[in-house]
Every structure is written in C-alpha cells, then in structure tokens.
Amino acid sequence: MNLRVTTKSSLAISLGFTLLVVASIVSLSLGAAGVPVLDVWRDVLSHLPGFGRSPLDELSAAVLWDLRIPRVVLSALVGAGLGMCGSAYQGAFRNPLVDPFLLGAAAGAGLGATLVIVYLPGSKDWPVRPLPLAAFVGALSAVAISYGVGHFAGSVGERRDASRLVLSGVAVASFFTAIQTFVQQQGNDNLRLVYSWILGGLTTSGWSDVLLVLPYLIVTAVVLLMHGRLLDVLSVGDDEARTLGVSPSRVRLVVVIAASVGTAACVSVSGLVSFVGLVVPHVVRLLFGSTYRTNLPASALFGATFLVLADLVSRTLTAPAELPIGVVTAFVGAPFFAWLLVRGRSR
Amino acid sequence: MSTIELQSVSVARGGVDVIRDLSLVVDPGSWCVVVGPNGAGKSSLIGAIAGTLRHRGRLLIDGVDVGDLSPRERARLVAVVPQQPLLPFGMSVTEYVMLGRTAHLPPFGREGARDRQIVGETLERLDLDWLSHRDIASISGGEMQRALIGRAIVQHTKVLLLDEPTNALDIRHQQQALEVVDALRREDDLTVLSALHDLTLAAQYGEKVALLTCGTLISEGRPIEVLTEERVAAIYGADVIVRIDPEVGLVVLPRRRP
C-alpha cells in the first residue's frame, strides 16, 4: 500500500501500544490497598537480577501479584477482545453502529450466568466454577440460534443480505432476556448478584480467569486478523465483493463465529461490559480511517487501554467499594453513542 | 480476447422472470451495448454475467460456463463497473483500486510489490495518481467513475461489464469515461458489454447493440440496423428522431411535441 496508508496504520498500532503500556503502568501503580507506588515498582523490578530485594511484605506482595496484576492483565484482555470483536462485527455487517452483542451474545451470557447464580448458589467454591462456562455456552447458543433463524429466514445464503440475520438477533436477544428476567424474579435472594454480573466487573478476577480466556482470544485474534483484508472487500457491499472474488456469506460466517467465541470468552469472565465493542472501533475509525486491517488490531489495543483505565476508575473512585465496570464504560460510551447518532443525522 | 455467449439465459427476481430465454454472442474484443427502456432487464443481464444474480441457461466465456465457477475464479474472468457503487468510509483511492487485486492474492494474503506496481500504473493511466491519497468518498463523480474502472482494470480480466457507466455524469465526464473504456478495450484486448440509456452514445461506442424490452431480446446487430426510428418509438413509447450525422453517425433525439 502507499506510504501514507502504511504510516497511518503504523501510527495507530504504535500509539495504541504506547497508550496501553502507560495505562497499565498507571493502573498497576494505584489501588485500594494503599501499597505505595514506588514500592510496587521496586517489587516488580526485584524479580529481575540486580535490582535488590522487594520492599513489600508478604500480604502486600500477594495483593499485587494475585489480585492487582491479574486484574490489569484480564481487563486488558477483555478490552482487547471486545474492541476487536466489535470491529469485526461492524465489518461483517457493514454497520458502524453494531456491537459484538448484536446476535444475542449478551442476552445468552446473561441467561447462562443468571441460571447458575439462582439455581447453583454455592457453586462459587466448586473446584471448577460453572458461571463462566454457563455464560460462555449461553452466549454462543444465542448466536447459533440467531444464525439458525436467520438461515431459515433466508438471510444466510450466497446471494442474500444480512438484514434478516440482524433482526433474528434482535428476536433471540429479546427472548433470552425474557427468560433471564423470569429466572431472576424466581430467585429474589440473588437479585443483587445477578445485577452485579449484568453490570460487569472484574472484582474476583485472578490468574485462573486469565488462563480461561486467553486461548479463546488467541484463536479469535488470529482468525480475525487473517480476515482483515476480506472485511475491507466486504465494505463495498455483498454484490461488489462477489464480483471482486470474495464469498460474502462465507467470510461473514467465519468472522461472526470467531468474534462470537471471543465475545463469549470475554463476557464469561467480565460480565456484560457495554459500549467497548461499539465505541472503540469507532474512535479508531475516526482517527485512522476505516480499513479493517488497521481497525482490528488498533481496536484491540485501544479497547485494552480503555478497559484498563475504566477498571482503574471502577476500583478507585469509590474505594474501598467498587463501581461496576459496565457503569464506567456506559458513562463514557452512552454520550459518545448519542453524539454519533446526532452526527450521523447531520451528515 | 474472449467471447461472451449467452444460451437461453433467464433471470428471475422476486419470483418473476426479468430476463427470458435470451441468447446473445459478443465477439472477442468488441463492445456490445445493451439498451432498452427502464425495467427492460439490462442491469439484470449484467448481474447474471457478473454472478450477482442467479440464472438459468448457459452463460459461457470462452466456452467456460461461469455459473460453475467460484466467485474467485469468476473474478479472474469478468470485471464489473457497477451502476451504484457502495462507498466505504475512510478508504483512500489507492486502497479502493487495490480491492480489484483480491482474486489474484492468496486467500488470506496481502498485496505484494507487483500488485502495488499494477495499481500505481493504472492510477497513472487513468490520471488518478494525483488523487491516490484522497478519501474515495471525497472525489467527484467523474473521478469516481475512473476509480471504478481502475478497480475493474487491475482485475486483469478479458471481459469488462459496465452498468450505466455514464449515469449522473456531465457530458465531459461521460465522454471521458467512455473514451477511457474504449482505449482500454483496444490496448488490452478487452471484450466489453455495457448497459447504456443514451442511444446516441450507444450507437457511437457499440459495435453491436442489443435492444431489450421486458426481459426479451428484440433486436441485435449494428446500431444503424437496430435503432430505427420506428423500433425505438415502438419499444420506448416515445416520439423520436433518428438521423445519420456525417461526423458522429447515428443520433437519436426526442421530438418536442407541439
């Protein structure tokens, strides 16, 4: 590609990476436990040869290594996943106003999580926690049903458009939400837990969550990055894409499967973190143009940065209490979304 | 050079046949212009050859039935300039023209030095190189038409389809677009099939004209044979004058009613 495009793409990636490093350093340095900033970094450096001993006692070191660091890593992974999957969904449906929850992933995950919270209240202490698994399966089930309904409605064929698929996603999401609300009302004792999950949070995250989500996100990232150029071709419409040598329905299917797996993995450990998948790809598009070869990796980096900072706000703003991270992302994301709508109308 | 051959081709849209049992041969290296009133099936015919609409019957390019080909294989045989392109947001002219190389890249590959060279040369040839960094959505109608032609040219096919390439262009840009296609046809040995509304332009650029109405081929042949005053009046339901001008050839004009 020409020099200016390459420079723009490199700028997006390097700026996103730099911001992520800075946000991670800030987020690691601050927290409710009151560990001094310098001691945090002296402890981190003490693991390298020649940097002396750690100034932290055992408890503070445990807070840092078993709570704060995995939480920062997990928020970066979830933010990267949602950002990249949002970009992929927007590319697959050629619509900048969709997010990775378009085909019901959020409603499905919400139902799965609610079923576990209401009917398996003691499962938190089980050796393998069923909640992330139920959320993961719920999210993928909702997307699969949406795709199935879309297929029978005639939207998933070689010469069809995707509009009926989107509508089937709306129907499936509403249906899953209705069941979730019903189940939730049956277990009034657990209402707070359900709401807390729905609003999203990384409160209990540890290295096990990082290891749980990482393999899925790696597979998702590899598949989506391979499809970046094909999503660029899709941006001229299904008919034109076909005349350029691409099968739109096949590309859309693979991209939606990969992005749904990534989204399901993210929400299974973080709950429903809203607006990241919508807002981040948009910001990247406004700043660096719209080719998906740039937008996908840049959305991952900017999404990671955004969620690392949002998580920092959620755990420090009202410390020692925590704000649900979904509240923070929605507080920033909702006004931005409204601005996008107004801007779209005036164009 | 490639031959386009349609054998009893029908195309249905919404359960209704919009092309019926149509047979047509376009000779290698020639330009065939499909004309007809609104709704005659011109775009549907182009859509069927391009692979965006299903068809019945046989649709051959150099004897190969394009209905049996994958989109990738077909895109190496046939390039299309659509009537109403969808413009992606924030894509440069170079990136847009580069999309035409897709069928020549490995399935998940990126463009290489040769692809960049082909696109660079095409931009120069179409006088678009000075616009290469501009956003595709920000250029004029005439420039857009050339970018679309550029995207089709870098596909390196032997057949070029154009659906109303002069729509919404002023007379200068109409001439420019058609001259570019004519020059490319001669230089690259392209076989061209296009739909056109303007019968005078159709007669000027088409070596063969195919007149359609209601999905049926009424007449085909040299413009002077097909576009007679009586036939145009009957098919279009219009009062027209058809004249032979010694300089430009056949001219079709609507007659002002008293």
pLDDT values of chain B reduced to their tens digit, one per residue, 258 residues: 788 999 999 999 888 889 999 999 999 999 999 999 998 899 999 999 998 898 999 999 988 898 889 999 999 999 999 988 888 877 899 999 999 999 999 888 888 899 999 999 999 888 888 888 898 888 888 888 889 999 999 999 999 999 988 887 888 888 888 898 898 899 888 999 999 999 999 999 999 999 999 999 999 999 999 999 899 999 988 888 889 888 888 999 888 877
Answer yes or no: do B75 and A239 touch at CB < 8 A: no
The pLDDT value recorded for residue B14 is 81
pLDDT-derived band at A158 (thresholds 50, 70, 90) equals very low
Query: Is A245 touching B (CB cutoff 8 A)?
Result: yes
Q: Check pLDDT > 60 for residue A159.
A: no
Query: Is B89 touching A (CB cutoff 8 A)?
Result: yes
A227 compared with A122, residue with greater pLDDT: A227
The pLDDT value recorded for residue B93 is 94
Residue B161 buriedness (CB in 10 A; 0-12 / 13-18 / 19+): buried
Query: Is B116 touching A (CB cutoff 8 A)?
Result: yes
For residue B27, the Cα-to-chain-centroid distance in whole angstroms is 15
H or E element in which residue A233 lies:
helix A228-234
**Between A1, A242, A289, which is nearest B51 by CB?**
A242
The pLDDT value recorded for residue A1 is 45
Would you state the structure tokens that stand for residue B250, as one six-digit string?
A: 């056949």
Average pLDDT of span A152-164? 61
Answer yes or no: do B72 and A236 touch at CB < 8 A: no
Give the burial string for B126-151 (b: 16+ CB within 10 Å, else e): bebeebbebbbeebeebbbbbbbbbb
Q: Which of A83, A95, A98 is CA-nearest to residue A294?
A: A83
The pLDDT value recorded for residue A47 is 77
Q: Which residues of B touch A295 (CB under 8 A)?
A: none
A118 compared with B74, residue with greater pLDDT: B74
Answer yes or no: do A290 and B85 touch at CB < 8 A: no
Q: A199 φ, ψ to 5°? A: -80, -5
Query: In the block, which residue shows the tokens 């990969």?
Result: A258
Lowest mean pLDDT among A71-80, A91-100, A102-111, A147-156: A147-156
Of A54-63, A93-102, A289-298, B115-124, give the range with the top mean pLDDT. Answer: B115-124
**Between B80, B88, B102, which is nearest A235 by CB?**
B88
Beta sheet of B78-81, edge-to-edge order: B78-81, B159-163, B191-195, B31-35, B208-213, B216-221
**Between A2, A5, A245, which is nearest B103 by CB?**
A245
The pLDDT value recorded for residue A3 is 43
Answer yes or no: do B91 and A290 touch at CB < 8 A: yes
Answer left, alpha or beta for residue B252, where phi above 0 means left and psi between -120 and 50 means alpha. Answer: beta
**Between B80, B95, B155, which is nearest A5 by CB?**
B95
Instruction: Determine the Cα–Cα distance for residues A270 and A328; give it in Å rounded to an integer.
Output: 13
> How near does any CA of chain A get to the CA of B99, in Å?
6
pLDDT-derived band at A48 (thresholds 50, 70, 90) equals confident
In this prediction the pTM is 0.87
The pLDDT value recorded for residue B142 is 83
Average pLDDT of span A285-304? 89
Instruction: Please give the sequence-ordered ranges of beta strands (E in DSSP) within A99-165, or none if there are none.
Output: none
> Which residue in A has a C-alpha nearest to residue B49's C-alpha?
A243
The pLDDT value recorded for residue A4 is 52
Q: Which of residues 263-292 of A touch B (CB under 8 A)?
A: 285, 289-291
Lowest mean pLDDT among A11-15, A320-324, B249-253: A320-324
Q: State the amino acid at position A154 in one-letter form.
A: G
The pLDDT value recorded for residue A171 is 92
Q: Check pLDDT > 80 for residue A157.
A: no
Instruction: Determine the Cα–Cα distance for residues B25 and A181; give it in Å rounded to an integer.
Output: 64
Q: Which of A71, A97, A84 is CA-nearest to residue A322?
A: A71
Q: Which of residues 297-336 of A touch B (CB under 8 A)?
A: none
pLDDT-derived band at A345 (thresholds 50, 70, 90) equals low
The HSE-up count of residue A286 (CA atoms within 13 Å, CB side) is 12
Q: Which residues of B touch A247 (CB under 8 A)?
A: 70-71
pLDDT-derived band at A265 (thresholds 50, 70, 90) equals confident
Average pLDDT of span A145-159? 71
Arithmetic mean of pLDDT over chain A: 84
> How near does any CA of chain B get to the CA of A225, in Å?
9
Q: Which of B107, B105, B104, B85 is CA-nearest to residue B96?
A: B85
> How near does any CA of chain B get to the CA of A294, in Å?
11
Q: Check pLDDT > 70 for residue A5.
A: no
